[in-house]
Chain A
């Protein structure tokens, strides 16, 4: 297999994802409602309750909306990546995974490319969210929009790989509701997305440590710092390392036969 083959395959998977996105564009925009509700309603209600002191990367006092915006970017990626990864495993209706796996190219390459292509679509959603967020006076530096891209890519790859791992190995979570309750919500709430961790430390050291070992916390911090053009090597490094580990585990352990793609096999 030559490099050109990989390239054509990569482009093909990407363009299929964008074609599908275009077909389902109403779903794409309705998915934006969730983070915008958090921003417009939840944050407005909570800004009075929570005072956020000056913490890096911010240089002044900030509104609560400003604080949670990067967390909501993380939330968009979290929901999309999980949903996408699960559909890769549970999608029996279209059999699209079977077509993908009939490619002669190595499976880890196919799976990572697929995760990346889904990630890019959800990153598109993040950017639209960030544009709308400007209406709420969330105005990170212009270059921040570019600087945040690698962090967003890593986050989507990390969460997509996690979704694949879960879908492949945890049989009990066979629908999205299960994953929502046992993975997505705990990951989201036990992170720095909605509150700075020092607040959590005041509340409970236990919860604080849970937040600290949650990779999503570090992904959100990587997004937050990059968006404000600051370099947070710890957050970025941890996200990168976790991504590498999860991606290799997920692709090495990908067992389509565990997915019951063959209905009533005998």
Chain B
């Protein structure tokens, strides 16, 4: 059980943004959600995180319907948003404790978990620093630690590497892959950067609101008779031809 989307349509006013999107993710795997800017990735994230209300179709999060049992579904999800969603003036730990409280954890439990996550993320010595003092890569790591505090089984990241330099981008990507392997997390990593995708990843390609492909990267390339994810992606979306 992971994420299952069935027949999702979504429109802003009269403009259709998602058209008949259906997929299911493989438990415990790293999934890359690829799409050029404007493909509908953010809208899909908005729907999965209940920022937007479903207009039609169904989203199941670890077996819980987002429409019918939103609370149970939300508990299964850890989310890292595209924009920074940390309080810059509060310390790393204060940010984590706030999130834990929002999930109904007691202060003591929250502290224990936040200490544990920070240690695991090599951030213990930064616990009392205001987030403002951290560099972009570290801030992102804090956001991931925060997303995992309530021990979700799904981790959703919406273009988490935007604004990071190449080195931090790579580190972050490896870090999440490591978490995926270590904790058995099901990861959905939205990006428009193909270099963040590996051939044995599960890949979903979204283009103009439709899902063009969903499968193992290598298989998709074979089926499209292309060499590597980049070419497959370009073939399916017509992007990057110039």
Contacts and interface: CB of A to CB of B under 8 A. Distances in A.
Contacts of B239: none
Interface in B102-118: 102-107, 110
Nearest to B72: A104
A115 interface: no
6 contacts: A95-B84, A95-B85, A98-B51, A102-B50, A103-B74, A104-B71
A202 B86 CA distance: 54
Contacts of A135: none
Question: How many A residues are at the interface, by size bracket?
Answer: 35 or more
Contacts of B52: 256-257, 262
Contacts of B12: 265
B90 A16 contact: yes
Given A19-B94, A104-B74, A256-B51, A266 B101 contact: no
A118 to B, nearest CB: 15
Contacts of A145: none
Given A95-B83, A257-B52, A103 B90 contact: no
Most chain B beta-carbon contacts within 10 A, residue among A4, A9, A264: A9
Interface in A243-259: 255-257
Nearest to A255: B53
Interface in A78-135: 92-96, 98-106, 110
A96 B102 contact: no
Contacts of A101: 49-51
Question: How many B residues are at the interface, by size bracket?
Answer: 35 or more
Contacts of A92: 83
Given A24-B89, A102-B50, 15 more contacts: A12-B98, A12-B100, A16-B94, A19-B94, A20-B90, A23-B89, A94-B84, A95-B81, A98-B49, A102-B77, A103-B74, A104-B75, A104-B103, A106-B71, A257-B53
Most chain B beta-carbon contacts within 10 A, residue among A24, A102, A256, A262: A102
Contacts of A49: none
Nearest to A103: B102
Interface stretch (B22-30, B37-45, B178-186): B37-45
A262 B46 contact: yes
Contact of B99 (A24, A95, A99, A106): A99
A20 B104 CA distance: 20
Most chain A beta-carbon contacts within 10 A, residue among B37, B72, B83, B97: B83
A237 B179 CA distance: 55
B142 interface: no
Interface in A147-181: none
A102 B46 contact: no
